[in-house]
Amino acid sequence: MIKMQARALLFSAIEGGNTFWNREIDSHGPVAIVEKIRSGGYAEGKFERTLSIVKKNNPDEVLDAIHQVGATFITPDDIIWPALLNDLAIAPIGLVVKGNAHFLSVPSLAIVGTRNPTNYGVRIAGDFASGFVDREWAVVSGGAYGIDSAAHKGALIAEGITIAVLATGIDVNYPAGNARLFREIAETGALVSEVMPGVHAIPARFLTRNRLIASLSKATLVVEAAFRSGSLRTARDAAELMRPVMAIPGPITSPTSEGCHRLIGERSAELVTSVADAMEFVSAFR
């Protein structure tokens, strides 16, 4: 069995961000892990589901399922693997990509924020997205309603590259209202997923997805976010990777800006008010 097949099998069975299996694969290699699983080298217990899937799945069928939805499977062994992902403590076993996988290595800005933005937030997200793609950066976000969608659309309108990192299978339109947006992103940028086609969202997958958004990007911008928000998790993931984090200020009475003000107040993010500000700040980290 070759590495690609072994990784495909493990990818089909293991949730992203699993510390134990990541350590096992790093230490012994994917082929050895598959062989150990199939020879009964791991006790069933809490690994029962994972072991069962690896034993019953056919690696060629796993890869075929990915290809059938018009996507490709890339791994850390591939030349086109984005090197920034290697900074993660728990790197992906592989990624499913629909679109141009080379774009994952283009210098990029993550733009994240609330699903319920104000008109101000939507405009700012779009403006910063178009401003960065004008400077030949890509824009990375999560494909959700709100700030994510505004960022993707801003990049597309400016005829730039945008990448959506999904918490579902690459063929699952979640949210359903963004189906057209996902088609446009796949045509000119890339859709990325850490789960198999057909897999639906659960809360934990959004958290593991957020680390990918942060790690694929050279910098992260939070536009609008509530005091407790998944976007703040993305910002903290970026900070742990020693990547620059920025936040847009809003009215002090706006609940949708409380998270941004919290980041700024804690000195966890740089306050920026223009694309020029953001570019200057990010350039200092190069």
What percent of the chain clears pLDDT 90, i.e. is strictly above it?
Answer: 92
What are the CA-CA distances from residue 37 to residues 28, 56, 114, 205 (Å)? Answer: 12, 11, 42, 25
Is 16 contained in some domain? yes
What are the CA-CA distances from residue 180 to residues 149, 175, 177, 264 (Å)? Answer: 11, 11, 8, 35
CB neighbours (10 Å) of residue 203? Answer: 8
Q: Give pLDDT tens digits for 196-221.
A: 999 999 999 999 999 999 999 999 99
Compute the distance between CA of residue 113 and CA of residue 282 in angstroms, rounded to an integer: 19
The residue segments making up the domain with residue 54 are 1-68
Tell me if 220 sits within 8 A of 246, measured CB to CB: yes
Phi, psi of 150 (to 5 degrees): -60, -40
State whether 133 and 212 are in the same domain: yes
What is the token pair recorded at 216? 């694929």
What is the token pair recorded at 263? 């980041």
DSSP state of 268: S
Is 273 contained in some domain? yes
Q: Give pLDDT tens digits for 81-122.
A: 999 999 999 999 999 999 999 999 999 999 999 999 999 999
Is 74 contained in some domain? no
pTM of the model: 0.95
State how many domains the chain has: 2
Region 258-278: mean pLDDT is 95
Is 202 contained in some domain? yes
> What pLDDT does residue 1 have?
61
Report the chain's mean pLDDT, rounded to a whole number: 95
Q: Please report which helix (H) or strand (E) contains residue 48, including its range.
A: helix 48-56
Is 164 contained in some domain? yes
State whether 121 and 193 are in the same domain: yes
CATH number of the domain to which 276 belongs: 3.40.50.450
State whether 158 and 227 are in the same domain: yes
